[in-house]
A and B are shown apart, each in its own frame.
Chain A
Amino acid sequence: MENGTHLGSAWQDSPEVPSLIKHISSNDVAGFDDMTSLTKDQCQTSESESHSPSNDGDETEPIYHRQRVHSVSISMPQSPVAVHLQNTRRVLFSSDTIFEDGIPDASVVSGAACGEPPKHHSQPIRTAAAYNEAIGGGQFSYHQSIRRLKDKRYDSFKTWSGRLERQITLLRGKSPPESKTEDEKVPNREVEKNLPVHRYFDALEGPELDTLKASEEMVLPDDKTWPFLLRYPISSFGICLGVSSQSIMWKALATSAPAKFLHISLRVNLVLWCISIALIATVASIYLLKMVIYFEAVRREYYHPIRINFFFAPWISLLFLALGLPPSVANNLPPALWYVLMTPIFCLELKIYGQWMSGGQRRLSKVANPSNHLSVVGNFVGALLGASMGLKEGPIFFFSVGLAHYMVLFVTLYQRLPTNETLPKELHPVFFLFVAAPSVASMAWAKIQGTFDYGSRIAYFIALFLYFSLAVRLNFFRGFKFSLAWWAYTFPMTGAAIATIRYSNEVRNVITQAMSVILSAAATLTVTGLLITTILHAFVLRDLFPNDMAIAVSDQKPIPQKKWFHLRHGSSDSKDIEQYLKFAGSDGKDLEASLKHQNY
């Protein structure tokens, strides 16, 4: 007997229901699959209004006629046994079903107009209880598949979910398991193209937009620990940023004249540099693996308004490596290397700044957040490296692009527009990124011009001011959950220290020397503290890589569950259904609106 919470309530009331259900249940699994294969052949643009009851007595129900399947089918709301997270099995009622009176129309809302790009329907998995219940119900006989259910839940994120395994099994000489039901052939083409940015804002909260709101649901199960690769965020490249900038700092301390009194050997730089190389190699290979196996997860990180900026981090780390090159390893780098390193940054920039300028849903006033500094800093670091290599025009190019966009970003962040949903309300270590751009810009300009002239000094003093205004508010940086992204926030401190060292080269007196020592010490202390915390979390607390909720956002607002339980009572039926339909209708509009802007 179908659980009333899973199917429409109207069915409870209609005397026809039992006969229908009997009718349906008499269809075997194969017949059910035929339906699904049929619907699959048609353009499957069904939205996951699987939450929707397909039929009710409401005449005002908006009907989107897509294609009528002249066969009996069930509208399937989310079923916990949905092995197929990817497709909502949108099965249509045709008008010639059993329902005559009471429920006149049985054509079903099946999504927006045909021709829209197929949307990804991830059926959120309900609680384990319902899941077990439904399995026990034995209504759906996916015998073999259920056993592999646990693997299937991550299939939506796998790059070649199922197919690769099948091929490998074939290659190994074993026969592929029989009755591979439809659900296993994940139609990758169905996977969504764009998760609209407002979904991230609606579903996530927190200064790094990584905690799921209580009312939201996840695509992936929240009760289990996910595979390691799924939990590995792009912000891990922040560690590379932090450590490689440290190597530059120690190199500057060892080689610059005002710091000679500290008698720091170049060994420190060499050691740190080698550690950075190892770190970058490790992190990069793990992330590459993640990209190969779980491409969907990488894509969702790319569309996350904060994580997108961390895609610059690997390239900036490589630039730092080149900047921090120990003199004992090599003295000169070939200029071609600079072009190679700057190309990915350039391409990413074209994409992101273009979105700022023309994007409907990803425009700057909506998505501006302090992590955007990472996308601007890359320009200045590249200019610095190019100028130190002796190039002339390229560094100026990137400097000017970075300067223009930094100005825009700076103004936008300072405005703290009310439309901006990503700015953390309280102070958070991410604010240290404010210090990064001016300090690196001052060093880059000094290298381009040859001397630490007025332009560089202006930029340097701005950086210093921002640094101090954050440092005196250190008290307010408490009480935040540690995350790997914090490593990325240490490199501005290091950058400010390096800029101070360069400044003290130019203006040599006790104060500047003292400042360079103090700032370097502060940077080193922060990095050490962070290292200890990281080790603590990794080995003692073992929660360095928690479930990455930011990528598991579902693409639809969930229907509040309560409605289902109340729908047993007939009187409140129509009201609830009306309310639901209004909700669904507006969702549809939102999605359409966001889809319209998809091309921007």
Chain B
Amino acid sequence: MDDQNQSQPQIEITIDAPNDTEQPHREPLIIIRRSSSLILTKFHGGHFRISLSLCSQALLWKTLGDPIDDAHAFRRVLSILPSNAFLFLWSLAFFTLVSQSTLYILRCFFRFEMVKNEFFHHVGVNYLFAPWISWLLLLQSSRLIAPTTIYYQVFWCASVLPIVVLDVKIYGQWFTKGPWLLSTMANPASQLSVIGNFVGAWAAAQMGWRECALFLFSLGMTHYLVLFVTLYQRLSGSSSLPVMLRPVFFLFIATPSIASLAWESIAGNFDVSSKMLFFLSLFLFMSLVCRPALFKRSMRKFNVAWWAYPFPLTVLALAATKYAQEVRGARAHALMLLLSAVSVLASLALIIVTVITSNNIFSQSPKSTLLKIPNPPA
């Protein structure tokens, strides 16, 4: 949480522990209240990376586990994976997303100021898309709700509506309004808004709503073009993203992959455009993997930004799966297996690391709590 806001002048507020003059039998209540207020304060949009990663993992497992006719030998290998594992993963993702959403709703009620500050922060605003993306991914990965049912459609509308509203607000700001112009605000996390559009298009195409899908896809594609060029130009140099948030660079990989998947469901098959987007994503992946120095400083201490790694890897693996299905070569399937393995390992590693350090995330002694509230841009 601290890392997200480091690039702006900060007000540091130290909360001192109040003297405990209450009666002993009230202590548990006080502790609960104190720790819950702590949780609400420390929780922020960036934590949704966790649910994003878990939901996309669930989708990957579902895609890999789905039986397809005329599967390649490598693909059949995956059928030995137990289906219970998928169920467990899906439940974990569901539980995480529900709890995080609840926490965030509570935060909106009790800490609205902080939510507002997040909205005005150039990195934080993009993570407002993350919950909706996670819900859409979870929806797609559920085996219970088929895309043709009414529940799916209702759920889709409920998730996509906030995305569109946020789009209108944020994209409009990009080329009209004051300090929120794209050239000053652009940073790799801005790709989350584009990803939101593509995921919505993907889910819509699976429902059969082709026009909606095309609408969202073209919206996403246009802004992706603009954003891609702007990000590559690096007009503001390296100052747009604090060092701790370097893992967010992996979002460069995620966007073309999701676009390729969305186009594949719109067009019906993995045609040349999808292939081109997939290859672009693959190239960016190799490019980032060859630059470990870029991430060195952010890897010294665990922070929630590390969860930015699994989601793009998983989406790339998903795209590789569809690619292998289309091309049917041994090399393509080997690539698919490799990328899936990488994404699974990454998610697993992060779950373990998070569990190990979880006592540090949410329980710190109140005396040492430092809240860094960013100033909204003037």
Contacts and interface: CB of A to CB of B under 8 A. Distances in A.
Contacts of B294: 358, 599-600
Q: Identify whether the interface residues of B are mostly helix, strand, loop, or mixed.
A: helix
A399 interface: yes
A282 to B, nearest CB: 33
Interface in B213-254: 225, 228-229, 231-235, 237-238, 249, 252
Given A350-B286, A353-B287, A360 B233 contact: no
Contacts of B237: 360, 363
A351 B288 CA distance: 10
A483 interface: no
Contact of B234 (A351, A363, A448): A363
Given A356-B234, A357-B231, A364-B232, A397 B291 contact: no
A393 interface: yes
A396 B280 contact: no
A585 interface: no
B276 interface: yes
Contact of B229 (A360, A396, A397, A411): A411
Contact of B276 (A351, A358, A403, A600): A403
B291 A354 contact: yes
Nearest to A360: B238
A319 to B, nearest CB: 19
Contact of A354 (B235, B275, B287): B287
Contacts of B283: 350, 397, 400-401
A404 interface: yes
A336 to B, nearest CB: 14
Given A350-B286, A363-B237, A600-B238, A357 B252 contact: yes
Contacts of B293: 599-600
B256 to A, nearest CB: 8
B290 A350 contact: yes
Of B252, B291, B293, B296, chain A has the most CB atoms within 10 Å of the CB of: B291
A600 B234 CA distance: 13
B234 A407 contact: no
A597 interface: yes
Contacts of B373: none
A95 interface: no
Contacts of B233: 363-365, 368, 408, 411-412, 417
A400 B235 contact: no
A359 interface: yes
A309 B272 CA distance: 29
Contacts of A368: 233
Given A350-B287, A401-B279, A364 B234 contact: yes
A561 interface: no
Contacts of B279: 396-397, 400-401
B135 to A, nearest CB: 30
Interface of B: 225, 228-229, 231-235, 237-238, 249, 252, 272, 275-277, 279-280, 282-283, 286-288, 290-291, 293-294, 296, 327
- Ranked nearest first, the 6 interchain pairs of A and B with the lowest CB-CB distance are A400-B276, A363-B234, A397-B279, A599-B293, A365-B233, A408-B232
Given A351-B290, A399-B276, 8 more contacts: A354-B291, A363-B237, A401-B279, A407-B225, A407-B229, A408-B228, A449-B272, A599-B293
22 contacts: A350-B283, A354-B287, A354-B290, A356-B232, A357-B234, A358-B238, A363-B237, A364-B232, A364-B233, A396-B275, A397-B283, A399-B276, A403-B276, A407-B228, A408-B228, A412-B232, A412-B233, A417-B233, A448-B272, A597-B238, A600-B293, A600-B294
